[in-house]
Chains A and B, each alone.
Chain A
Amino acid sequence: AQSVAQPEDQVNVAEGNPLTVKCTYSVSGNPYLFWYVQYPNRGLQFLLKYITGDNLVKGSYGFEAEFNKSQTSFHLKKPSALVSDSALYFCAVRQTKAAGNKLTFGGGTRVLVKP
């Protein structure tokens, strides 16, 4: 079975400071990893994904994520956070042969960027 853990319910950061949102996963075989962001009263928006290749993945809005196979992690990062980055962030994983293209989501991490 595949699973995702986001150990922090909330991350607080000052505007302009680096932002990190943590994610660890468990799958059988090679993972496909995704980050989504949810703004208030909106659906999830795709940020970035890791399929294969370079461990550092760049995505939308200046976000990037680093895949670490030995630590089974896929942390989301942004060098300089903006107030507008305040939202709910979800990590998701899919294993190579998951039935139904099934995505397993973490519980979400709320990011609050203070001016």
Chain B
Amino acid sequence: NAGVTQTPKFQVLKTGQSMTLQCAQDMNHNSMYWYRQDPGMGLRLIYYSASEGTTDKGEVPNGYNVSRLNKREFSLRLESAAPSQTSVYFCASSYGQGPSNEQYFGPGTRLTVT
């Protein structure tokens, strides 16, 4: 049981390049999330998927797109990377949307945009 896995672990992009961050979970969770972590700001929600086939914007969605490929996989795409997107990105999942459901996090992807 690997939990939540993310690829790649590290990535360096030039401004304007595109890339996709991959996330998969093997806990049969229904809901999945993408966060970014910046120093002193905690984690901020980019997009989430309440269930397979649905996606919704979070707090900071501009410059990103997502795809819920199936129940296990939820990808985050940067179409044209900007230096402001330099951050650590975390994928998370939870069993459901109920407020008592804790979220389980992947190990993160450290992205640098030059």
The chain A residues found within 8 Å of chain B, CB to CB, are 4, 9, 32, 34, 36, 41-46, 49, 51, 90, 92, 94-108
Contacts and interface: CB of A to CB of B under 8 A. Distances in A.
Interface range on chain B: under 10, 10 to 19, 20 to 34, or 35 or more? 20 to 34
Nearest to B107: A43
Contact of B42 (A43, A99, A102, A106): A106
B75 interface: no
Contact of A43 (B44, B45, B108): B108
A104 B4 CA distance: 20
Contacts of A92: 42
B24 to A, nearest CB: 14
Chain B interface mostly helix, strand, loop or mixed?
loop
Nearest to A49: B102
Interface in B13-66: 31, 40-45, 48, 50, 56, 58-59
B90 interface: yes
Given A46-B103, A101-B31, A90 B50 contact: no
B39 to A, nearest CB: 9
Given A102-B45, A107-B40, A108-B42, A32 B58 contact: no
B90 A101 contact: no
Given A43-B108, A107-B41, A49 B58 contact: no
Contacts of B58: 100, 102
B100 interface: yes
Q: Which of A32, A42, A99, A103 has most B Cβ within 10 Å? A: A103
Contacts of B98: 101
Contacts of A32: 99-100
B101 interface: yes
A100 B101 CA distance: 12
18 contacts: A34-B102, A43-B106, A43-B107, A44-B90, A44-B105, A45-B105, A49-B100, A49-B102, A100-B45, A100-B50, A100-B97, A101-B50, A101-B101, A102-B59, A105-B42, A105-B44, A107-B40, A107-B41
